[in-house]
Structure formats: structure tokens, C-alpha cells
Amino acid sequence: MIGVRLARRTMADDPSEQLLGVIDTLDELAGSCTPEEAAEQLDPVVLQAFWRDWPHTSVWAGNLWRTLNRDLEAPASERLDRDVDEVGGSG
């Protein structure tokens, strides 16, 4: 977990950038090896930390995804408030 801790220190303080960085890093790892290969190749201490911490992280990520899914599952609708619509060209 030392590498993860160092990554946390060097990532931007913005939570959005942190989340994107974590997703990119995990996606890159997932693309480079199968779960079976990772279980064989990764450091045993890292694997134990993953085993210990992943359930909490997974629950948090799942809850965030479900929250976003509720917000995003309804299609966008046309905006009917003409006072705030920009028409441009005036001036």
C-alpha cells in the first residue's frame, strides 16, 4: 500500500481529479492483467490490503454510482424557461 499512499500525496487535492486518477489507474491495471494474474503477481501485502479495504471502497463506489444513476437515468428534457435561454446576436 506504500505506492497507493504515495499516490495519494502526489494527486491533486481536488476530489474530482482524485477520483478520475483512481479510476484511470485501476482501469489501466485491469487492462494489463487478469484478476488471476494479479493475484499471482502482486505483492502479498498489497493483496491483503486490497482484500481488507475493498469491501468498504466497493460499497462507497456502488452507492455513488447508484446516486448518479438515479440522477442520470431520466433523459434530458427541453428547457422551457425562455428568460434564461441565450439567443446571442444582441449587442
Place of cell 502482486: 42
Domain count, the chain: 1
pTM here?
Answer: 0.61
The verdict on residue 87 lying in a domain is: no
d(CA 46, CA 43): 5
The verdict on residue 55 lying in a domain is: yes
Mean pLDDT of 3-14: 62
The verdict on residue 47 lying in a domain is: yes
The verdict on residue 78 lying in a domain is: no
pLDDT reading at 5 higher than 90: no
The verdict on residue 39 lying in a domain is: yes
Of the candidates 3, 5, 1, 6, which has an alpha carbon nearest to the alpha carbon of residue 49? 1
The verdict on residue 82 lying in a domain is: no
Domain of residue 37 covers 2-68
* Cβ–Cβ < 8 Å for 41, 33: yes
Task: Please report, for residues 17, 33, 89, the alpha-carbon distance to residue 62 in angstroms, rounded to integers and kept in the order given.
Answer: 19, 23, 45
The verdict on residue 37 lying in a domain is: yes
The verdict on residue 85 lying in a domain is: no
Per-residue model confidence as pLDDT tens digits over 33-90: 999 999 999 999 999 999 999 999 999 999 999 999 998 988 777 777 666 666 666 6
pLDDT at 10: 59
* Cβ–Cβ < 8 Å for 39, 47: yes
pLDDT reading at 11 higher than 90: no
